[in-house]
Amino acid sequence: MIALADHLSIGTLIRTFWGRITITWGLTLIETALFAVLPLMIGQSIDGLLNDNWTPFTQLILILLVLLCVAAGRRIYDTRAYGTMRVELGKAQAERGKDDPVSVINARVSMGREMVDFLEDTAPTSMTALVQVLVSVGILLSFHGNLAISAGGALVLMLTIYGVFSRRFFRLNSALNEVAEGQVHRLEGRDPKAIAKHFLGLRREEVRLSDTESLVYGLIFAVLLTMLAYNLWFAATRLGSTPGQIFSVVAYSQEFLQAAVQLPFALQALTRLSEITERINRSTSEILEDSQ
């Protein structure tokens, strides 16, 4: 599965388990496509029912049934596929770290599981978000160019805000992981003062990271909420739209907001994983040097 000489990373996991990942990500894209057309179908159903036309409503029900089957099936498969990845990654880390302190091995195994968590949760969520962002902008453009411009401008501002803070996120994650690696050692020492000092240090690093996240996401939400308010105002006062069309504009603006805000979370996860990847491969380099 995972060779001793392999660099433990997201790329290695994808190469090793590409079949499982292809299936689960393929199901994710199908699920995303079905979710993406829902607001449009709901808007058409509203206008159809108001005109005694049941065809759009029937199509909506069929899409919901297919979506239910795909979503449930993907989650059943995910649990088994990614569970296997966690087992193989844990075995590889335990073998590589057999000469390291237990505290370091324990912390790095927990960190390594975050790579699988990323593939299982964050990566599909990010793919879903990216597709929803593109679909939302495209459909908003079909209503009016100004609606798409406001969404696109919000996205650019959002990514710029995150870019300003990206290096700080890396440093804060590094400091947090450094403290976490010493946890088992502190607990084994059974010194109340040392244990208290450790957990206070852990809390301090978590607070610093959380405060930075709160600032960044506060700024991002302000940008996205401004976009949503503008699109609602523009659709209601400038387009001469039907109730169903106004609903679709607002729904896709809201969907854009919910999807776009996931992208900084994905970037934050990648920042953390880049630090984790660097950290958990330190022992790998030492083992390879000893074997030469």
Mind giving me the DSSP string for the chain? ---TTS--SHHHHHHHTHHHHHHHHHHHHHHHHHHHHHHHHHHHHHHHHHTT--HHHHHHHHHHHHHHHHHHHHHHHHHHHHHHHHHHHHHHHHHHTTTS-HHHHHHHHHHHHHHHHIIIIIHHHHHHHHHHHHHHHHHHHHH-HHHHHHHHHHHHHHHHHHHHHHHHHHHHHHHHHHHHTTHHHHHHHT-HHHHHHHHHHHHHHHHHHHHHHHHHHHHHHHHHHHHHHHHHHHHHHTS---HHHHHHHHHHHHHHHHHHTHHHHHHHHHHHHHHHHHHHTHHHHHHHHHH-
Q: Where are the domains of the chain?
A: 10-291
The pTM is what? 0.67
Q: 10-291 in CATH: which number?
A: 1.20.1560.10
Q: What is the pLDDT of residue 291?
A: 40
Q: What is the pLDDT of residue 287?
A: 38
Q: What is the pLDDT of residue 288?
A: 39
* pLDDT average per 10 residues of sequence, the chain (292 residues): 73 89 90 82 85 88 92 91 88 77 75 86 85 88 92 92 88 83 73 84 89 91 92 85 80 87 83 80 51 43
